[in-house]
Structure 1
Amino acid sequence: MPHREGTDALSDRVRMLLVRTLYTQPTSLAIGAANGAISSAVAAFLGGERLLFILAAALTAVAIARVAMAFYLPAHTGSGDVRKLEIAYEVGAFAYSLVLGLVAAATMLMELPVGIELLMVANALGYGIGICARNAGRPVIALGQLLLVVLPIMLACIMLGGLAMVLLAVNLLLLLPAMSSITLNVFKVLRESIAEAERSQALAERMQVLARTDVVTGLANRAGLNHALVEALVDLPAEAALGLFWIDLDRFKEVNDLLGHQTGDRVLAEIGRRLRATLPAGDTIARFGGDEFVICTRVADKHACEKIAALVQDEITRPIGLDGERLEMQASIGIACLPDDGKDADALMKAADLALYRAKANGKNQACFFDATMTRELVRRREIEAELRLALQRDELSIFFQPIVDLETGRIRTFEALVRWFHPEKGELKPDEFIPVAEESGVIVALGNWITAQAARAAAQWPADVTLAVNLSPLQIKAPGAAVGILKALKEAQLDPARLELEVTESLFLEDSPVVRSFVEVLSKVGVQFALDDFGTGYSSLAYIHNWPFSKIKVDRSFVSGPHVGRKSDAIIRAVSQMAATLDMTIVAEGLETIEQVQAVRDAGCTLGQGFYFSRAVPDYLAAMLLAQEHHTHIKTQTG
């Protein structure tokens, strides 16, 4: 039964479409009508019979009426009045066909000159056959016209009698099933083509909907948002305002890492459901990607935006219960308004993005309006963040190595890996410019893993007694799988773990994090060394040295070359050196630039030194050359 209903519905739609095709070429209809009217008028004029003049006049009148309807009705008839179009066409078509057939039959029965008979019979039969092709979309009309044209001629043949006339009548009779078969086949092809076109259109529309829909939340995705924004701007009244809210879930990554991506998807779906239930039906709500949502709605003013932002945050912060787990989410929101903050969709999105960046930088879990004053600084930082992500893909970053030298022998004991960025347009960007941005944005995790992997490959080519030092960001260490990433880099580079020194700052240990403890334990177990960097600049608690497996302490450069260098700083270095010697640690003095500084820290008990006095950071091939020169000098000294 459903199939029958579906078929009937399809037939109705096909019928509606094919009825309208009857009117698609009124010009061809006008040419055919004019031809019949002129031919009948000529036949009447040449034959001189009163009946022919009457029939010719009737045919002309019907022709004029049909042409007028063909041009007028489609433009003034709604989609629901298809039946009216069909009836109007049927009346005109059947009337014209019948009169044309009668004109041809009359010329035969009046025994007019052969030329006149041939003119009208050929005209009538040609019209009947041709109309079957033109009106095949409605077989009833097409075959009805053919029948009305042929029947009068067949009757005339029978009335005239004779073998030739009888055979002509038989031929005309056989013409009917032949043309019926052709017309019905054409109709079947047309019907199937229309049905296939409908299926293709429905599939295309469904694919378009799917392409614009986020599979996790059922909201619009990025493509759907772009489409909705364009439509919203087109439909927006001249004096109306549009508010754009860019939402970022704070610390959502922890949900994925701790509970799994399936739970993360359920959280996103629940937040999407809450947003959809809270906001008016006409508002655009989209999942822009990852843990970001975008809302676009008409607003009266900024006060209305504040209310919406507060409502959204209330919904997001409301606890979410999943499988017995109680999750509490927070969100940062960037808000931009059209026309104040942008004249088009791109400008509005950019302004909301900058406002979101400011909201996150200010401590998260808050809403922030776009302000023109934030553009310069934040645009610069956003550019750096975006370009840094691309730089990792395009190999624009390089690893340089600065030697750490034994102050007694002058030999290189370690190379510290330092990242350098040579931008193709902006030239060299200093680490101070992009490292903080990398830490704020989370790019530092990918960057740190890349630095470790690249440096390990270079270090694997050095002599076995030369180690590699790599700085680690606390964010990198706390990232899931941080230890696995470092072990993978060592394995791929075939570098002995004991030759890797990870430099960390004491800020990492301000909170007793089990993640940090696990990271240190896993890597210490395989032989990786740890160095406490920038000692003396923070709390400098001896508890760190006591509780964690440091093999090296790096004294900050401020004790060596800062403005307060003197007797006190010298005493501090001596005290730290003596402690390190007792604990079997090495002490590195950073920032050495003069021979006097080298002598001072060596006399104070430092064992290693680092700074421009020895060498700036150099590319890997120059680092290899320094080691080769040192090796050559060492051999020459021994043999000399």
Structure 2
Amino acid sequence: MQRITRNSVIKSVRAFFSRSKADNAVDAQIRGTLVDSLYSSPLNLAIGAITGLVIAFYTAYSIDDVALQSVAYALAAVVAFRFSIIVAHRFSNGEDSRTLELLFEIGAFAYALAVGAMATLAIVEGVDPLAQMVLTVYAVGYATAIAPRNAGRPVIALVQMLLILGPISVGLLLSEASLAHALGIVALLHIPSVTTITLKVYRSLRNSIISAQANAELANEMRELARTDVVTGLANRAGLDHAVAETIEHSEEGASLALIWIDLDRFKEVNDVLGHPVGDKVLRGVANRLIDVSPDGSTVARFGGDEFIVFCPVDNLKHAELIASEIHFEIMCPLRVDGELLEIRASLGVAIIPDNAVDADQLMQRADLALYHAKVGGRAQTCFYDPSMSRDLVRRREIEAELRIAIQRDELSIFFQPIVDLETGRIRCFEALVRWFHPEKGELSPGEFIPVAEETGVIVTLGNWITVQAARIAATWPEDVTLAVNLSPLQIRAPGAALGIKNALREAGLDPHRLELEVTESLFIEDNHSTSAFIEELSALGVRFALDDFGTGYSSLGYINKFPFSKIKVDRSFVSGSEAGQKSDAIIRAVAKMGATLGMDIVAEGLETPEQVKTVRDAGCNLGQGYHFSRAVPDYLAAMLLAQERENTAFRAIA
């Protein structure tokens, strides 16, 4: 048994010294934690010290020994010193762990030396046996208890134990009593036993700290990964939220912070045409540019998809404008990907705290609102938040909610504006236009609620309702009069769009040949398969299609060549707009000539005067629409116009 104990001690000591170099390399955090363990539970230290003082003074004065009394006073001085160290540690916040460790060593060694000296002195001087027993029992008990308690720094624990048990063992062995010799041998054997326990406690404590630190580092890495975008390496949405909250919390009161929200315009086309790998390279290229151009202290994040955010400190509004301008310019520069130069366009929305917002959520909302206005305003531009944007948003939400209710309550009406044959003056077609007479706000302009309907998706429900109502009314007209209905791109791309038109025709009993669906050029910006399928399916049924607002959007003759348009409507800006003139007349002539060659009707919109009617007729337009002929009228007035026209025709025939 003794051999096993000795081997275990040797192994423990070897392991301790083999780790000494590694222990010296233990980083400050682990060392600080170990040193903190020395100062943990100061109450225990206080109880032990006070107990030692009571025993020392009571024993020394009860036997009236001057030497023991002197040591007792020295012990009291050491206790006072150790208490001062504990107080200093409480106010140090764990800083300068090496100094704290050294001070602890001095106090611990001095206390252990005093305790060991008192017990040894009592044995050597042969004082009262009871006093020897009291001092020796306290000293051995203290050495045994304090060693594992201070195992966080094994050197301190073992030296304390040796300073106590070493002198006591020697004193007992030098004593004349044979029983004291036995106790001296037991005290010596107690040293390796306590040493083994101390080193085991040390290893366990140290490994626990290292394991905890490793787990904390792993948790930090996982947290960073969770806050990082895998494609660009920038912060993702979670990382951005964390950075924004942290920055705002630690910013000085009144400091300005700008949030610049960036959206790449039509990035979907890059993925669709060039593929997602190229799209990812574009995103990484944009990310690198944002990092390069963003000021120090900025957080650059990919918010998701093709959206990025730069959150940065600014001096004032002018400074924010400068940064946004530099970012916009940098993104707009051609980007080389796989040897090919790509033109990247972006829209930016900017909001500033505290000018525009009081917290992070409000800042995000208002930057997003500014971005929305940048995109609605034509894209590829920068918009700064303005309070009017919030008022517009409230107004749009109000309109959206009331529009849904208006459709259910039949508060909407269908009006019809005639399209007239410029040669005969006869009505060839009526265009269906929606009107909203609000019970409280009066008539609301289509320009106010149609854009809201398109933005919110209500246009799908609204468009289907218009088609159904208009088809029912048109079915009552003469068969040579057609119906024109405007369709939104959203309505066309909605699932079952063609089926909805078919159902409207069937329920109304309207011949498909009498229905014209007007679409704008914006429908063809994205090469969407559903658009082609929609047009092909209804064209096969006999429904005709007209290209509305020609000349104002992304005009392309390719659309006319690819799709079966039977009519082109020249936008009113060429007829009665501020740009109307010699050049616009030439454009109208060119379009009219093309239409005549292709067998298509050409409609001139916005005719308000006889002179304009003559101009477009001379230019080759065969149909006209505008206030000169009639405003949009309710269904019963449309029926009256047709009836009057038929009566006049019959009267002229009789005459």
TM-score w.r.t. the length of structure 2 is 0.65
1:229 equivalenced with 2:241 (yes/no): no
CA distance in 2, matches of 1:474, 1:248: 22
Q: Could you tell me which amino acid in structure 1 is paired with residue 66 of structure 2?
A: R
Partner of 1:354 in structure 2?
Answer: 369
Partner of residue 505 from structure 1, selected from 505, 517, 524: 517
CA distance in 1, matches of 2:459, 2:639: 33
CA-to-aligned-CA distance 1:423-460 (integer Å, 9 cap, x gap): xxxxxxx9998763363x5x65x9969x99xxxxxxxx
Q: CA deviation at 1:128?
A: 0.7
Size of the alignment, in residue pairs?
A: 508
1:369 equivalenced with 2:388 (yes/no): no
Change (3 A) 1:548 1:308: same
Partner of 1:251 in structure 2?
Answer: 266
RMSD value, Cα: 4.9
Task: Name the SS of the counterpart of 2:358 in structure 1.
Answer: coil
Partner of residue 28 from structure 1, selected from 31, 44, 69: 44
1:19 equivalenced with 2:31 (yes/no): no
Partner of 1:195 in structure 2?
Answer: 210
1:326 equivalenced with 2:341 (yes/no): yes
Task: Name the SS of the counterpart of 1:287 in structure 2.
Answer: strand
Task: Name the SS of the counterpart of 2:319 in structure 1.
Answer: helix
Q: Could you tell me which amino acid in structure 1 is paired with residue 564 of structure 2?
A: W
CA distance in 2, matches of 1:252, 1:241: 31
CA distance in 2, matches of 1:251, 1:220: 23
1:341 equivalenced with 2:356 (yes/no): yes
Partner of residue 164 from structure 1, selected from 179, 184, 187: 179
Is residue 125–residue 150 contact of structure 1 (8 Å, CA) maintained in 2? Answer: yes
Q: Percent identity?
A: 39
Partner of 2:101 in structure 1?
Answer: 86
1:303 equivalenced with 2:315 (yes/no): no
Is residue 506–residue 544 contact of structure 1 (8 Å, CA) maintained in 2? Answer: no
CA distance in 1, matches of 2:399, 2:331: 30
Partner of residue 150 from structure 1, selected from 161, 165, 173: 165
Q: CA deviation at 1:200?
A: 1.3
Partner of 1:628 in structure 2?
Answer: none
Q: CA deviation at 1:355?
A: 1.7
CA distance in 2, matches of 1:602, 1:294: 62
Is residue 357–residue 378 contact of structure 1 (8 Å, CA) maintained in 2? Answer: no
Return 5+ residue gaps in structure 2 as ranges. Answer: 1-18, 411-433, 435-444, 465-484, 552-558, 567-607, 609-631, 647-655
CA distance in 1, matches of 2:202, 2:345: 63
Is residue 520–residue 549 contact of structure 2 (8 Å, CA) maintained in 1? Answer: no
Q: CA deviation at 1:591?
A: 10
CA distance in 1, matches of 2:295, 2:159: 56
Q: CA deviation at 1:521?
A: 5.6
Q: CA deviation at 1:54?
A: 1.5
Partner of 2:598 in structure 1?
Answer: none
Give the stretch that moved more between structures: 273-282 or 347-356: 347-356
Partner of residue 527 from structure 2, selected from 512, 515, 518: 515
Change (3 A) 1:173 1:520: same
CA distance in 1, matches of 2:58, 2:221: 58
TM-score w.r.t. the length of structure 1 is 0.66
Partner of 2:79 in structure 1?
Answer: 63
Is residue 248–residue 291 contact of structure 1 (8 Å, CA) maintained in 2? Answer: yes
Partner of 1:548 in structure 2?
Answer: 564
CA distance in 2, matches of 1:225, 1:286: 6
Is residue 520–residue 550 contact of structure 2 (8 Å, CA) maintained in 1? Answer: no
Task: Name the SS of the counterpart of 2:308 in structure 1.
Answer: strand
CA distance in 2, matches of 1:300, 1:270: 28
Q: CA deviation at 1:273?
A: 0.8
Is residue 261–residue 307 contact of structure 2 (8 Å, CA) maintained in 1? Answer: yes
Return 5+ residue gaps in structure 1 as ranges. Answer: 392-396, 401-417, 419-429, 453-469, 551-563, 565-589, 606-640
CA-to-aligned-CA distance 1:546-600 (integer Å, 9 cap, x gap): 96289xxxxxxxxxxxxx9xxxxxxxxxxxxxxxxxxxxxxxxx99966x98899
Partner of 2:230 in structure 1?
Answer: 215
Q: CA deviation at 1:346?
A: 2.4
Q: CA deviation at 1:247?
A: 1.8
Partner of 2:69 in structure 1?
Answer: 53
Q: CA deviation at 1:41?
A: 0.6
Structure 1 segment 490-501 matched on structure 2, within 5 A:
none
Is residue 90–residue 141 contact of structure 1 (8 Å, CA) maintained in 2? Answer: yes
Partner of residue 44 from structure 1, selected from 60, 84, 89: 60
Q: CA deviation at 1:183?
A: 1.2
Partner of 1:279 in structure 2?
Answer: 294
Structure 1 segment 533-612 matched on structure 2, within 5 A:
548=564
Task: Name the SS of the counterpart of 1:223 in structure 2.
Answer: helix
Change (3 A) 1:216 1:186: same
Is residue 335–residue 355 contact of structure 1 (8 Å, CA) maintained in 2? Answer: yes
